[in-house]
Chains A and B, each alone.
Chain A
Amino acid sequence: MCTVKIQSGNETTELRFLVPTAFIDCLLPAIMAAVPVFASNFLACVQKPPPANEYNPGTRDRCQT
């Protein structure tokens, strides 16, 4: 669902989360606390679009109260 790329020196680590992208904003503080050495090197949270011709159901919250 969402990939967080973390760079340390020449190494790039990808953490993949099976949660809606909207949740990543909430999770980022926890991620950064868990991996403080990488915290300053956080690059991006990328929502990957589905490949063409592939059914890819989302899990996003959409209901407004």
Chain B
Amino acid sequence: MITARDQLLTELLRNNRTVITARIQDDGPLAGLHVRIRESAHMLALNLPRPLTNLRIHRTYAKEIRTLEARHPLPSAADAHVACQNEPIKLGTQMQPAGAPWVGTAGSAVSWLDDANQRRFGVLTNWHVAATSRYQAGDALHQPDDTQPKFAELYDAVAPNPDVNCYIDAALCDSLINGFHTISDEIIGLGTIQNPPRDATTGDDATKSGRTTGTTQGVCIETGVTVRVGYDSFEALFTDQDVYQSVDDDFSAAGDSGSLILSYPDLAPLSLLFAGGAGLTVGNPRRYLEAFRNLEWLW
């Protein structure tokens, strides 16, 4: 049986120009369709799935959402987030694959199960920060950039696929170098995680520590969002994502990709920051991340 959600997602995949994000609320038969579009209201009739065009449109936006790695010329950043650190390296810091023309954020300390069911320890960041199609498992990752020694090796990643619904853009980076882990369980400006992870909910106060904007505060304005995200050479549709908005200044900017978004002030992991634009920040929900190699947060 084809559900309204299936119809909508099919339409979103077909339509690559106007619909940016969309959400179906599960509080009634088709009653809560929530669509965000880039263009003006009269475009709705052209771009909504035909069986659903009689539904009320709650809000419209004009937003561009794309990944948040930083490229040259690199935007300015707080010194603490771009300085080379001796071990143990606090997270929320700049990282770079060897030879990459971009930088991102080494966001949080995690562990995961390897192929032998042994737990490994390292950094969680985004696929588009640590991997992309250029790099493979075992490749060196550097902090803050590749003029300094490697601090981790790429272990595994989940890449976005433009042909299917995506849930995470994530990479695991093994920090075991010559017998010791290079990283701390602390995050610059925040300290350690203080509470178990939980799902974000609308209205949650949130914080993050990232390469470019440092430690900032925001609020979760929506969960369960479907969002089309621009990558260098393709777009990918992410489903069931968390969306945040800044409280004062920008909550995120280019270079903050890979940051961990935590609840504030109780510091529980909520989402992995990976995209944004025009005042919005998009994060992969923690529950999907934890399904990736049985990921656990270090705290």
List chain A positions with a Cβ less than 8 A from chain B. 20, 47-50, 52-53, 55-64
Q: Are A53 and B86 in contact (CB under 8 A)?
A: no
Q: Are A49 and B179 in contact (CB under 8 A)?
A: yes
Q: Are A62 and B84 in contact (CB under 8 A)?
A: yes
Distance (whole angstroms) from the CB of B37 to the closest CB of chain A: 46
Chain B residues within 8 Å of chain A by Cβ, number? 23
For chain A, what secondary structure do more than half of its interface residues adopt (helix, strand, loop), or is it mixed?
loop
Q: Are A62 and B148 in contact (CB under 8 A)?
A: yes
Q: Are B180 and A56 in contact (CB under 8 A)?
A: yes
B245 proximal to A (CB < 8 A): no
The answer, among A20, A55, A64, for a CB contact under 8 Å with B148, is A64
Distance (whole angstroms) from the CB of B193 to the closest CB of chain A: 13
How many cross-chain pairs have Cβ atoms below 8 Å apart between A and B?
60
Instruction: Find residues 173-221 in chain B having any chain A CB closer than 8 Å to their own CB.
Output: 177-185
Distance (whole angstroms) from the CB of A57 to the closest CB of chain B: 4
Residue of B nearest to A52 (CB): B118
B87 proximal to A (CB < 8 A): yes
Q: Are A57 and B181 in contact (CB under 8 A)?
A: yes
Distance (whole angstroms) from the CB of B177 to the closest CB of chain A: 7
In the assembled complex, which residues on chain A have CB atoms less than 8 Å from the CB atom of B182? 57-58, 60, 62
In the assembled complex, which residues on chain B have CB atoms less than 8 Å from the CB atom of A55? 111, 121, 181, 185, 298
In the assembled complex, which residues on chain B have CB atoms less than 8 Å from the CB atom of A49? 179-180
B151 proximal to A (CB < 8 A): yes
Residue of B nearest to A55 (CB): B121
A-B contact sample (20 more), CB < 8 A, given A56-B179, A57-B87, A62-B151: A47-B179, A55-B111, A55-B185, A57-B88, A57-B180, A57-B184, A57-B185, A58-B87, A58-B179, A58-B181, A59-B88, A60-B87, A60-B180, A61-B86, A62-B84, A62-B85, A62-B148, A62-B182, A63-B85, A63-B148
